[in-house]
Amino acid sequence: MTRFGFASFLLATTMLTLVVSGAQTGLIANVVGTVGTVVTNTLNATSTLVETVANLPYDSHRIIIVMDKDTKPVLDAVASTNTAIWTEAERIQNIQNIVDALKLHAQQCQGPVTDLLQSAGIQYTSNWITNTIVAVDCSVGLIEQILALVSVKKIVYDTIITLEPPEPTADSTSNTVTAGWGVTKIKATNVWATSNTGQGVVVGTIDTGVRGTHETLASNWIGPYGWYDPAQKTATPYDPNGHGTHTVATIVGGKGVGIAPGAKWMTCKACENSCYMSYLTACGQFMLCPTDTNGNNCNAAKAPHIVSNSWGAGQGMTYYQSILDAWYAARIFPVFSAGNSGANGCSSVVTPGDSAKAFSVGATDTSDALGSFSSIGPAVNGLIKPDFIAPG
């Protein structure tokens, strides 16, 4: 796609696509209010050592080790500041520069921690996009050793975000393209009439997976480097929940279901009925530099242009800010649900959608009124949110 064509698509079609992708699912991410059964007794003795993220639920078997040196200075030093519309080659080169710098930064920072974990025989995963390490079943003594390292800032439990079911929608099984009410309401068909259906654009999602054989989606999956399941390392896209299939189809589905049926999709499975922060981080890294299904051989040339996220929890938090910073530097457009806490009134927009670097979306109904469930701004940090509302 030409420079003009891609920019035109972003302005005329994709922005609306992503608004509806969050809105039509009812902005279905929410938080369970108590810790519940996910918390075990394994690390109870570390309650003064390992932090929690506000009052969000967590898994006490899993910890995230946060290194002292942030990634933001690395991004500021290496990312291109060219404000012109880029060619695809220029975009890919910028992403590669960012990935190389973040990987080197992590290698320089994380060695003492990984040495301790390896010596103890602990399973761990390094995340270069956030300069963090996820470890499983660490003893109190090992945690004390890790915290004693000058290179470590803190240790937090692996936070859990719980998804609500999406509102039901009817599958389109007809070969006749009949646009849904939301598609018609935003006049997407007028854009299609100009032969612009999103072609040349790749949209990524982080969700519960996607049923890759779905009749509205089977033909426009990108294929290799378009699927990652950090928990199970499965070979092909699947969705045990249905939530992820719903959101992707709303964006790029055929048969009149999606706004940009000519765009390609890729996805990373961070959630089932809930989303572990460690998997959300792995998926955020995958979107910056997609890998094979085993998480190896990352290829910056496969990075999507847009990432849509229908999840969120808490307010005014920074747990996903490093990933937003990296996507922003890479010019990957980050879209997030504003939340479905509208019943709580003003200032109910959730994180990460309340970040200045997230494009947050809310929902309207068939009468163009704000959806009763849709979170309302301003954000608790004072920002005007959501950034956009559309049929949902």
- Estimate to the nearest angstrom the gap between the alpha carbon of 337 and the chain centroid: 10
d(CA 22, CA 224): 26
Q: CA 329, 220, 27: angle at the middle one, nearest 5?
A: 60
User: Predicted confidence band at 32 (pLDDT cuts at 50, 70, 90)?
Assistant: very low
148-63-227 Cα angle (round to 5): 135
Q: Is the pLDDT of residue 172 over 80?
A: no
Q: Which two tokens stand for residue 224?
A: 């290799």
CA distance 192 to 201: 15
Distance CA 20, CA 133 (A): 34
The residues near 65 (Cβ < 8 Å, ≥ 6 apart) are: 113, 132, 133, 134, 135, 146, 152, 155
What's the pLDDT band for 39 if we cut at 50, 70, 90? very low
Q: How far is CA 153 from CA 109, 133, 156, in A?
A: 11, 12, 10
Strand stretches in the chain, DSSP E: 29-30, 58-67, 124-127, 132-136, 152-163, 202-207, 227-228, 264-269, 274-276, 306-309, 333-337, 359-364, 388-391
Residue 225 token pair: 């480097």
Interstrand relation of 227-228 and 152-163 (parallel, antiparallel or unpaired)? unpaired
Would you state the pLDDT for residue 40?
39
Rounded to two decimals, the pTM is: 0.88
Mean pLDDT computed over every residue of the chain: 85
> 161 and 175 in contact (C-beta within 8 Å)?
no
Q: What does the pLDDT read at residue 41?
A: 37
Spatial separation of the C-alpha atoms in residues 290 and 306, rounded to whole Å: 13
CB 242 within 8 A of CB 209: no
Q: Where are the domains of the chain?
A: 7-31+163-391, 36-162
Question: How many angstroms separate the CA atoms of 215 and 187, rounded?
Answer: 23
Report, as an integer, the average pLDDT of 61-79: 97
| pLDDT tens digit sequence for 265-279 | 999 999 998 899 999
**Ranges assigned E (strand) in 88-212:** 124-127, 132-136, 152-163, 202-207
Whether 107 has a pLDDT exceeding 70, the answer reads: yes
Chain centre to alpha carbon of residue 374: 19
Token digits for 206?
């982080």
Q: 7-31+163-391 architecture in CATH?
A: 3-Layer(aba) Sandwich (3.40)
Per DSSP, what are the bridge partners of residue 266?
A: 204
pLDDT for 171 equals 44
Backbone φ and ψ of 369, nearest 5°: -90, 155
* Mean pLDDT within 284-296: 99
User: Which residue from 220, 166, 228, 91 is spatially nearest to 363, judged by alpha carbons?
Assistant: 166
Least confident interval from 112-121, 202-211, 376-385:
376-385
pLDDT digits (tens, 9 = 90+) for 181-203: 889 889 999 999 999 999 999 99
Span 348-354, average pLDDT: 91
- In the predicted structure, residue 12 carries a pLDDT above the cut 80: no
pLDDT confidence tier of residue 381, bands split at 50, 70 and 90: very high
